[in-house]
Amino acid sequence: MTPWDRRLLSEEFLTRSDAEFNPSGNDQIAAEILWGAAAQLLLIEIHREPTLNFTDHGSYRDAATFLQAKSTGTVVLTDFDCANKLHGHFYHGHLSESDLRSCRRITKRFIQRLGTYLDQSTEASPPHTA
């Protein structure tokens, strides 16, 4: 997958997550899809940054730590940890409604800020057309 493929997939996951976060939806599935939207953006950075390497789930946290430093705090590590809680919720369903709502809002901030950061990169921009 190219970086742009991942950007598009992230946007699609964001839309699907919003659709699933409703009274008739499943909040564990919604949480996982929203986590996926964040993970896709992190994978762009993991794959392009030579000092990062994807080995396991902890690699996402390494990437978020790296990004917080590289973006001088624009991309926030604690926002990532809230996104990570959504991934945990998919497996365990342990978040209260308020916690889930709060993590959802913060994860969206993470995605928005990471997207803005990636916009500065040509690799994550739309492919040029002839």
Partner 1 sequence: MKIRHEAHTIMSMLPDRQRAFIIGSPERVSECIQALSDADIEVWHAYPINALATGLMGTSNPPDVGPAQIPELFLNYLADIPPGPLAQGWRQPILEAVKDAGERYFNAADRNFQLGDVRSAAHDLCSAVNCAVIGQAAIRGWPHADASNDINTMLGLATGILPADQTQFRAVIDNTAEENLDLNSAYGAATGILQAVDHGYFHAFGYTTETATQLARHAFGLITQTGGPTP
Number of residues lying near partner 1 (CB under 8 A) = 33
SS3 of 24-84: the string is CCCHHHHHHHHHHHHHHHHHHHHHHCCCCCCCCCHHHHHHHHHHHHHCCCCCCHHHHHHHH
User: Are the CB atoms for 2 and 47 separated by under 8 Å?
Assistant: no
Q: Residue 36 Cβ, how far from partner 1 at the closest point, in Å? A: 15
Q: Is 61 in the site for partner 1 (CB under 8 A)?
A: yes
Q: Is 57 in the site for partner 1 (CB under 8 A)?
A: yes
Binding pattern for the stretch 68-107 against partner 1, x by CB under 8 A and - elsewhere: --------xxxx-xx-xx-xx--xx-xxxxxx-xxx-xx-
Q: What is the DSSP letter of 121?
A: -
Interface residues with partner 1 (CB under 8 A)?
Answer: 56-62, 76-79, 81-82, 84-85, 87-88, 91-92, 94-99, 101-103, 105-106, 109, 112-113
